[in-house]
Amino acid sequence: MSNASLLARRNAAVPRGIAHATSVYAARAENAEIWDVEGKRYVDFAGGIAVLNTGHRHPKVMAAVEEQLKLFTHTAFQVLAYEPYVELCERLNKLAPFKGEAKTALYTTGAEAVENAIKTARAYTGRGGVIAFTGGFHGRTTLTMALTGKVLPYKKKFGAMPADVFHVPFPIPHHGVTVEDSLKYLNFLFKADIDPERVAAIIIEPVQGEGGFYEAPTELLVALRKICDDHGILLIADEVQTGFARTGKMFGIEHSGVEPDMITIAKSLAGGFPLSGVIGKAEIMDGPEPGGLGGTYAGSPVACAAALAVLDVIRDEKLLERSNAMGAKIRARLEALQHRNDLLPIAAIRGPGAMIGFELVKHHGSVEPDADATKRVTSKALDLGLVLLSCGVYNNTIRILVPLTAEDKIVDEGMDLLEKALSIAA
């Protein structure tokens, strides 16, 4: 079996609309290392797109899953409920980044969580409008595709988007958009397109994921909280990619001190098993009628068991502290590379905790995006044995999502390979 033979089979059996960042087919993985079907080893700086904060196949997660598999795999929570779902909701409610009573609903994917957060907001407020931000990514379902602030590839050829979804420019000062600009545009929106009294929710990622790892400024979040309070709008923090220790806090919004009304969660919640959820203020979460929420596989007992173990690992292995230490180390290494003339020019190193991004630019000291160079770097990195992802509205951001459980020697090895890729691709 080879990567090439599997790629040929894939091309014959799977639609082209499902794209691939690499042409590698995985055979096995442990913590922050992956081996492909040809036996080649890779350092994993992608983490399944921020799913593996606790690494591939963490022993505690695997043990919890094995125990649940001995009991049952599915009943549908709406038919025969089970304790792991309830226990997980109880623990998540205690972690909620806002004051007061909380409730949690569990789902399967991040998009499903976002969609149900919007449904809940609309049910509670009796309003229909939703405001999101350019560059934001919230999913690929019809509603979440509309919320996503990027046309290509997420909206191309898919027809008209649902009504009452609006976008405000996300502030990226080095690309010409300030917080003042964002708030000014929001005010224009309220005057020209939708009365704020018709808006159910404003949704924002504390750090944009697919949009380029840009952090939402505290100034913006504080202003949004006041606007929401003034007009009865709910503030939703999309924590699908930022949650569960990735940013050095349990949730990314905590860096700002701003309290949202709801947060959406998924990805690293269950250590590689499909699980998502919405944590919200109890009164808001009770807005929908009985039967209005749920799903056949929503809150799978196997995934709930995994998630309970993930929360234990984050606590017991002090992954919040580990995230901050790892992030500081990676940023310091990148800052040293930034001053090297023998490497491709990089700029705008950023990110809280271990959610690190940087940009490939045309010239040292410039901010002009270089998407072609970014493609070369990720390709060369893969050849060298490093799984590395790009992102961003200009397709020139490299993002680092190495598992927080990775040993220092593995992180160092990955950074060495990244440095080599920046040199070879120059």
> Taking 90 as the threshold, does the pLDDT of residue 214 lie above it?
yes
Beta-carbon contacts of 160 under 8 Å, excluding residues fewer than 6 positions away, are none
Give the pLDDT confidence of 312-355 residue by residue, as tens digits. Answer: 999 999 999 999 999 999 999 999 999 999 999 999 999 999 99
Q: What share of the chain is helix, strand, coil (3-state, %, to 5)?
A: 40, 20, 40
In this predicted structure, the answer to whether residue 296 has a pLDDT above a threshold of 90 is yes
Band (152; pLDDT cuts 50, 70, 90)? confident
Q: Which helix (H) or strand (E) holds 399?
A: strand 397-400
Q: For residues 201-223, give the mean pLDDT.
A: 97
Confidence at 129, pLDDT banded by 50, 70, 90: very high
Six-digit token pair at 159? 């027809």
Nearest-CA neighbor of 310 among 41, 97, 57? 57
pLDDT exceeds 90 at position 171: yes
Average pLDDT estimate for 121-134: 98
For the cut 90, the answer to whether the pLDDT of residue 180 exceeds it is: yes
Domains of the chain by range and CATH? 3-57+319-424 (3.90.1150.10), 72-316 (3.40.640.10)
Does the pLDDT at position 426 exceed 90? no
Q: Rounded to whole angstroms, how far apart are CA atoms 123 and 284?
A: 9
Task: Tell me the angle at which helices 301-316 and 319-338 cross, rounded to the nearest 10 degrees.
Answer: 70
**Per-residue pLDDT tens digits for 362-396:** 999 889 999 999 999 999 999 999 999 999 999 99
Alpha-carbon gap, residue 321 to 388, rounded angstroms: 24
pLDDT(412) > 90: yes
H-helix or E-strand containing 309? Answer: helix 301-316
What is the pLDDT at residue 365?
87
pLDDT of 204:
98
**pLDDT one-digit tens code per residue, 223-274:** 999 999 999 999 999 999 999 999 999 999 999 999 999 999 999 999 999 9
65 Cβ contact list (under 8 Å, min separation 6) = 273, 302, 305, 306, 309
Task: Count other Cβ atoms within 10 Å, centred on residue 334.
Answer: 21
Q: Are 175 and 212 in contact (CB under 8 A)?
A: no
Over residues 49-108, the pLDDT tens digits come to 999 999 999 999 999 999 999 999 999 999 999 999 999 999 999 999 999 999 999 999
Please write down the HEC assignment for all residues of 258-287.
CCCCEEEECHHHHCCCCCEEEEEEHHHHCC
CB 21 within 8 A of CB 155: no
The owner of tokens 């997420």 is 154
213 and 242 Cβ atoms separated by less than 8 Å: no
Q: What is the pLDDT of residue 181?
A: 98
Average pLDDT over the chain, rounded to whole? 97
Which residues touch 421 (CB under 8 Å, ≥6 apart)? 377, 378, 380, 381, 384, 386, 388
Chain segment 315-324, per-residue pLDDT in tens: 999 999 999 9
Residue 425, pLDDT score: 81
What pLDDT shows up at residue 119?
98
